[in-house]
């Protein structure tokens, strides 16, 4: 089924965006082939000549990276196209590593991203389907969510969040976040930023002397009386080929909020899995093939009464290839291909009042009626980085292109939920070039991206394109020992997001008691994000004692999103609104452009690690509003809480025992009718009892605070988050 649908979204039916992308890819591949053919000659020349300063830096890069592995901000960014760490990045970038993920014992993506500045996660009552918000921007591709290189573009029209993704935290080894449109080398539309989830590899699981290994984890959670069971197995066929499999099952009941009340519809059971193999055809090449999938089932409630039975299946297939020359000088080529398919089947449990999508007349949707949402996303991403030196200036020149095609098919019983998510096809593509120049204390990054999109259904078709620039300047002006790690930077960057199928084509009438029409808007303009950012990076070792380290990143940003798209309510009494008098109340809902959305804020991320313990502090303050073309100002509903998160951990017994806690203050966003200030306190402990047994404990919301995520303020009812939750897990590992 998946292969058939992949074919339908392939080249034969693709629009001009894909054909232009195919031409760009062909040119890039030809260039890569020419570079590859020139490698032997280049190697011979390098053997006869002394290495330049840039080439010597490349040879020492591995040693430098290994020396930097001791702290949270020094882990290499998987998402980086130039092989840098977060502290080296002239952008607001964060890395969450495997140790942090294990410490958080995450059940949901929200828990994986705890304390990452500028990032919030919105989820429904079940918490498994999630939408990521970066700097007040979310939904419809404003934040590119990527799993092993595959874009996650599933969307369902509903109250609250619109765009969701499904990935089990147990399968993830690291998360990288880049905030703002500086991330436009990672795909079209990401005016808010990019979140990259990298799944586990066999080489992370196997010890150097092992051929095979396995592990079993069991975890119990007190709130909802939930169980998680995870089993992993890895095998090394030879030094150039290994494989990993992981299966996870979660079974949770309804949780209780901080007031002690059971929240109906919050239970779920989900089965997830991962298969991944890595093949190294040569010393300088690597191929990763992977599958990540989940099968989920739950019951949706309405006014506390079961209304729909939901079955969801999500499958992501990826292939990632990388080849370099010996020094990673001219050839560092990456080719990624992916396909993600998410199918949601919704069966009504009780009769429901709806409207026939063809006639617009009221109908009763009988119990047992089926709605189907089928979203397939195909992606191709190719880039190369060339490193060289001219007149004493080191260059990292990155150039490439990408294409993503969405194929949305909805259907089922007339009047069902699926008819509020339009069917259609969307193709977005782009090409870019970026040069990072380094000269002593000065770094300059210049980039230019071209975006193209086409969108169509049976009755509409639209397209557009744009060039988006970026320039970043970083300086490290100090030579004194205590200040050598201090770096300042400033950035101006633009990004471009095309309208989604739903924003442009949604139609029909709102179901049930509150009845009004949805109006399509085929004249929507794309959004353009224009961001100015000023930041500071600070990196210093051996501050208070030998071997300790401090890492700090801070930034102020100002983002103007021109032609911002948001839903508006129109009055049928206004003759200029285009809203007709229909059944129900005299209003209409339509997605429209605003002149701009203005968002600004401050972010801080820091950690001090002394081996025997560590402390971290992160913070984000975000404000935002929209401005209409008539100059009217309104609060932006997608602005998350301002946050301050403090973390402290202590290590004992030769680092076998780690204990610590987290405190997070959340400040009410302006103009949010349901949000309040609240503070959460968490505690954790981890004990590596033997080489093969590990025990973890965690207490979330230790003081049982009753609170709600302000991003859920647009839903029909206030949703309170879980109260105190105790987690206890044990992991047994074996291998040989």
Structural tokens at position 200: 């586990």
Nearest alpha-carbon partner for 549 in 71, 48, 37: 71
Structural tokens at position 61: 């890069």
Answer whether residue 67 shows pLDDT above 60: no
Q: Which DSSP symbol is given to 256?
A: B
Angle of CA points 483, 485, 487, to nearest 5°: 95
Taking only the tens place, the pLDDT of each residue in 682-727 is 999 999 999 999 999 999 999 999 999 888 865 556 788 999 999 9
pLDDT given for residue 70 in this prediction: 42
Answer whether residue 389 shows pLDDT above 90: yes
Taking only the tens place, the pLDDT of each residue in 448-472 is 999 999 988 877 888 999 999 999 9
Answer whether residue 45 shows pLDDT above 50: no
Averaged over 226-250, what is the pLDDT? 96
Instruction: Please report, for residues 71, 73, 488, the alpha-carbon distance to residue 539 in angstroms, rounded to integers and kept in the order given.
Output: 11, 9, 12
Answer whether residue 18 shows pLDDT above 50: no
Structural tokens at position 14: 């693709």
Cα 115 to its chain centre, rounded Å, is 15
Could you list the beta-strand ranges (E) of 424-502. Answer: 424-439, 442-456, 461-475, 486-497
Instruction: Please report, for residues 36, 318, 331, 333, 436, the alpha-carbon distance to residue 32 in angstroms, rounded to integers and kept in the order given.
Output: 6, 21, 7, 7, 20
Answer whether residue 60 shows pLDDT above 70: no
Other C-beta atoms lying within 10 Å of the C-beta of residue 218: 14
pLDDT given for residue 118 in this prediction: 95
Residue 160: which pLDDT band, with cuts at 50, 70 and 90? low
Three-state SS string across 480-527, please? CHHHCCEEEEEEEEEEEECCCHHHHHCCEECCCCCCCEEECCCCCCCE
Distance CA 522, CA 455 (A): 10
Three-state SS string across 192-212, please? CEEEEEEECCHHHHCCCCCCE
Distance CA 200, CA 62 (A): 21
Average pLDDT, the chain: 85
Taking only the tens place, the pLDDT of each residue in 329-387 is 999 999 999 999 999 898 988 888 777 766 667 788 888 888 898 999 999 999 999 99
Q: Which DSSP symbol is given to 49?
A: S
Averaged over 19-31, what is the pLDDT? 37
CATH code of the domain made up of 71-735: 2.40.170.20
Taking only the tens place, the pLDDT of each residue in 631-680 is 999 999 899 999 999 999 999 999 999 999 999 999 999 878 778 999 99
% of the chain surpassing 90 pLDDT: 60
For residue 17, give the H/E element and its range.
Answer: helix 16-48
Averaged over 301-322, what is the pLDDT? 87
Least confident of 13-27, 81-95, 222-236: 13-27
Answer whether residue 7 shows pLDDT above 50: no
Nearest alpha-carbon partner for 503 in 576, 593, 637: 593
Q: Please give the residue that has the higher pLDDT: either 29 or 259.
A: 259
Averaged over 183-208, what is the pLDDT? 89
- Conformational region of residue 644, where left means phi above 0, alpha means psi within -120 to 50, and beta covers everything else: beta
pLDDT given for residue 675 in this prediction: 84
Q: In the sheet where 92-96 sits, what is the strand order? A: 92-96, 172-179, 193-199, 143-147, 150-151
Taking only the tens place, the pLDDT of each residue in 116-156 is 999 999 886 566 678 899 999 999 989 999 999 999 988 88
Q: What is the CA radius of gyration of the chain?
A: 26
Q: Please give the residue that has the higher pLDDT: either 336 or 54.
A: 336
Answer whether residue 52 shows pLDDT above 80: no
pLDDT given for residue 572 in this prediction: 85
Supply the DSSP string of 547-568, one letter for each residue: T-EEEEEEEEEEEEEEEEEEEE
Pair 454, 461: CB distance under 8 Å? yes
| Distance in Å from the first CA to the final CA of the chain | 39
Distance CA 328, CA 125 (A): 47
Residue 188: which pLDDT band, with cuts at 50, 70 and 90? confident
Residue 446: which pLDDT band, with cuts at 50, 70 and 90? very high
Supply the DSSP string of 152-175, one letter for each residue: ---B---SS--B-B---GGGEEEE
Q: What SS3 state is found at 18?
A: helix
Helix, strand, coil share of the chain (percent; to 5): 15, 55, 30
Averaged over 285-309, what is the pLDDT? 86
Residue 512: which pLDDT band, with cuts at 50, 70 and 90? low
């Amino acid at each position: 089924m998946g292969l058939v649908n992949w074919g339908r979204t392939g080249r034969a039916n693709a629009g001009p965006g894909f054909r232009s992308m195919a031409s760009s890819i062909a040119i890039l591949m030809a260039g890569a082939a020419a570079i590859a053919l020139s490698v032997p000659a280049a190697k011979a020349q390098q053997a006869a000549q002394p290495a330049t300063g840039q080439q010597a830096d490349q040879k020492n890069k591995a040693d430098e990276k290994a020396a930097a592995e001791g702290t949270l901000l020094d882990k290499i960014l998987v998402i980086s196209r130039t092989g840098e760490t977060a502290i080296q990045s002239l952008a607001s970038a964060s890395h969450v590593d495997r140790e942090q993920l294990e410490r958080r014992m995450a059940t949901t993506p929200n828990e994986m991203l705890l304390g990452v500045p500028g990032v919030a996660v919105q989820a429904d009552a079940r918490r498994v389907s999630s939408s990521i918000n970066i700097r007040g921007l979310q939904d419809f591709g404003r934040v590119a969510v990527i799993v092993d290189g595959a874009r996650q573009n599933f969307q369902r029209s509903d109250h609250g969040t619109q765009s969701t993704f499904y990935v089990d935290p147990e399968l993830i080894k690291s998360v990288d976040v880049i905030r703002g449109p500086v991330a436009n080398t990672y795909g079209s539309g990401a005016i808010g930023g990019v979140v990259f989830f990298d799944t586990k590899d066999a080489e992370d699981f196997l010890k150097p002397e092992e051929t095979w290994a396995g592990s079993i984890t069991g975890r119990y959670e007190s709130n909802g009386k939930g169980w998680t069971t995870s089993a992993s197995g890895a095998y090394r066929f030879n030094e150039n080929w290994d494989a990993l499999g992981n299966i996870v099952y979660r079974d949770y009941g309804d949780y209780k909020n901080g007031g002690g009340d059971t929240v109906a519809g919050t239970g779920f059971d989900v089965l997830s899995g991962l298969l991944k193999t890595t093949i190294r055809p040569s010393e300088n090449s690597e191929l990763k093939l992977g599958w990540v999938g989940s099968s989920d089932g739950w019951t949706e409630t309405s006014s506390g009464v079961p209304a729909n039975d939901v079955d969801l299946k999500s499958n992501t297939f990826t292939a990632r290839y990388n080849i370099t020359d010996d020094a990673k000088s001219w050839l560092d080529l990456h080719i990624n291909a992916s396909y993600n398919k998410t199918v949601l089947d919704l069966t009504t449990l009780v009769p429901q009042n709806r409207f026939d999508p063809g006639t617009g007349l009221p109908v009763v949707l009988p119990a047992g009626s089926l709605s189907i949402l089928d979203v397939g996303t195909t992606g191709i991403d190719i880039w190369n980085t060339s490193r060289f030196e001219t007149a004493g200036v080191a260059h990292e020149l990155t150039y490439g292109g990408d294409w993503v095609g969405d194929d949305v098919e909805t259907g089922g019983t007339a009047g069902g939920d699926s008819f509020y998510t339009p069917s259609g096809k969307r193709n977005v593509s782009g090409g870019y070039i970026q040069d990072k120049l380094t000269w002593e204390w000065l770094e300059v990054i210049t980039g230019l991206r071209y975006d193209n999109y086409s969108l169509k259904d049976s009755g509409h078709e639209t397209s557009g394109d744009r060039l988006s620039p970026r320039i970043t300047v970083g300086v490290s002006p100090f030579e004194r020992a205590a200040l050598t790690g201090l770096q300042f930077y400033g950035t101006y960057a633009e990004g471009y997001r095309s309208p989604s199928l739903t924003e442009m084509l949604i139609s029909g009438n709102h179901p049930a008691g509150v009845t009004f029409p949805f109006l399509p808007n085929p004249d929507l303009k794309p959004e353009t994000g224009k961001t100015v950012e000023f930041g500071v990076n600070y990196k210093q070792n051996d501050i208070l004692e030998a071997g300790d380290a401090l890492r700090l990143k801070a930034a102020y940003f100002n983002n103007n999103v021109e032609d911002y798209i948001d839903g508006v309510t129109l009055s049928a009494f206004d003759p200029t609104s285009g809203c007709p008098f229909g059944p129900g109340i005299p209003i209409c809902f339509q997605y429209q452009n605003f002149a701009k959305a203005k968002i600004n804020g401050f972010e801080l991320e820091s950690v001090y690690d002394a081996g025997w313990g560590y402390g971290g502090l992160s913070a984000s303050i975000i404000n935002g509003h929209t401005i209409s073309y008539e100059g009217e100002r309104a609060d932006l509903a997608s602005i998350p809480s301002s946050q301050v998160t403090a973390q402290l951990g202590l290590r004992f017994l030769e680092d076998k025992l780690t204990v610590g806690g987290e405190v997070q203050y959340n400040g009410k966003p302006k103009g949010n009718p349901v949000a309040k200030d609240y503070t959460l306190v968490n505690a954790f402990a981890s004990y590596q009892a033997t080489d093969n047994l590990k025990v973890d404990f965690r207490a979330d919301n230790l003081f049982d605070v009753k609170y709600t995520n302000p991003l859920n303020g647009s839903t029909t009812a206030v949703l309170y988050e879980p109260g105190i939750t105790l987690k206890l897990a044990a992991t047994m590992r074996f291998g040989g």
